[in-house]
Chains A and B, each alone.
Chain A
């Protein structure tokens, strides 16, 4: 019988709104008591530390199967634990694409042996062709928690309508990349004076808004559940806010990159800050922060996207998109909170109970009887991010060399300490 007590620790549980100092007693993998409880078993001294539910990252590319040189499920789960993440949802754009029952099963079986919970987002269309529906029902029954369009959107509105109508039968959540291909094809930056001066081919922010509005209108028509994945502009935030006021079943996500960075971080053509969607203006970033705080954007994701240095060290418009982020999932939030840019509680909500509820997952909350998936962190530790020290197999991060405030100390999974930071 394993027991563990976190003593005198700040307990933050966004699901209940609890924010107090006390003990957390963990017995047999579950939370046995919170607050004034006897100290039993192994002890973690929580003075000056904070605990929260283990984070849930709803958008991870794990490279497996097919691109194990970039990341494996095992290396991704090590990186996740280091970032305070205890559950991940892997994206379907692997080689081959996860568009079939057997591949969903393959990933879930692999995940069973790993220290984090691995969930699967299935492909919405066969081989992500944007036209041929996958077996949404059978994959859903096999355990897929989300169906994603992949990097390219479902361009044909009739197809998208049928996908949404069909998936509604199984109450399946589907996500579409909010991009209007005819506006965004061949571009690699946000349309603004910055990209104009850099001479980069750029797409206007409304490319995102137009597709998001179309999909929300289709959600209203069909009654399907829609996730607008990776919102990046102030315009789209406004559209989502309006849709939610009309009770449309729509949710939205934002990446940690878009909360912390803007187009100026591209600087002198830094391809490690080349992302899809592109980094936008400061006013967009501010709108995204406010949207996470007021719940207009439901969840924060790392958009973990491992890329090799070779695919990044290229002229800007030829370089690959994407950044790794699993290990920074909590750290970026702590930095933003320390700098007064966002409240820590709403940030945690968007990374714990909100994704759990959206995807129908267990966990994401600190309460007696819940599974003990807990991250223990310092809100004040200063450190400098060194990309070479990342546990992820790929090191592409736009935060390399950044000063950070706040850091994960321990990640507890099912009551066991699964990760502890090396002190120093």
Chain B
């Protein structure tokens, strides 16, 4: 497949969903769908990123995202290096910009960054001469997660999910996944709802183009898809929520609560899951309902598409 036929993809970085307009997104998703074919993904031409270097720079622990980018890079033929921040000079007091200058001197082509501070990848992007891909920054954005979720939904809804109603449930306040998903899903024409206790929903979230619910059953009414978010267990202190028991009772997704959504509603979760806290195993493991493993599969394909797209720009 020739990507971006009759269309020039000119974006250099992938920092936030708002960096892209709808045509970019549609083309990326189309390319993602192309790579989702395992035959193409594993046995297709590996020359897209030949001779290119991809550095995974993770300031936060992550297994699945880092490995997903590594696989995506390798399947496109790139040389992939994983920077272990724990053993790097950051621990010795080097600032982010020092690290950027050092990395830049090694001339990478693609830099995948995860950082606990919102905005860190965009600061890096200003200081390095390669493409920067945000793999999650603080509570700000996680654009490739949103794209892979969109790809998963597109597959589940036969190529077009505009007009569907989707609820994002749980700890939205601390979630970069929720923020990126709202932007992308709104752009693609889905109706998005937030469900969670007021302590875990940002003030004025209703101005983001979503409807906010504190009662899960009311919020799930008529939903075609439900995206559960991970509840960090440290939220039990600090008076965000009282206990796992109460959280699961009011905001954990089980079959009973899911029955308030539309028949045949699908469930997503960015992982890793807390079974029995935000989602019951019965729902999470039901292949008729759960798209969770599809999301992981779509992750590699979608990241291949993003890397491919940015490679067009740096060619």
Residues of A within 8 A of B (CB): 125, 131-138, 158-159, 162-163, 165-166, 168-169, 222
Contact = CB atoms under 8 A, between A and B. Distances in A.
B237 to A, nearest CB: 7
* Shortest Cβ-Cβ A-B pairs, 9 listed: A165-B198, A133-B242, A162-B239, A135-B246, A169-B214, A133-B239, A162-B199, A159-B239, A135-B242
Mostly, the B contact residues are loop
Given A165-B198, A169-B198, A169-B215, A135 B243 contact: yes
B198 A166 contact: yes
Interface of B: 197-199, 214-215, 236-243, 245-246, 249-250
A93 B240 CA distance: 23
Given A165-B199, A166-B197, A169-B215, A138 B238 contact: no
A163 B197 CA distance: 11
A165 B198 CA distance: 6
B205 to A, nearest CB: 13
Contacts of B241: 133, 166
Contacts of A168: 198, 214
Nearest to B201: A165
24 contacts: A125-B239, A131-B237, A133-B239, A133-B241, A133-B242, A134-B242, A135-B242, A135-B243, A135-B245, A135-B246, A136-B242, A137-B242, A137-B249, A137-B250, A138-B245, A162-B238, A163-B239, A165-B197, A166-B199, A166-B240, A166-B241, A166-B242, A168-B214, A169-B250
Contacts of A159: 238-239
B82 to A, nearest CB: 38
B170 to A, nearest CB: 14
Given A165-B199, A166-B199, A168-B198, A138 B246 contact: yes
B246 A137 contact: yes
A128 B245 CA distance: 19
Given A159-B239, A169-B250, 12 more contacts: A132-B237, A132-B239, A132-B242, A134-B242, A135-B242, A135-B245, A135-B246, A137-B246, A137-B250, A165-B197, A165-B199, A169-B198
B239 A166 contact: yes
Contacts of B199: 162, 165-166
A34 to B, nearest CB: 40
Nearest to A130: B239
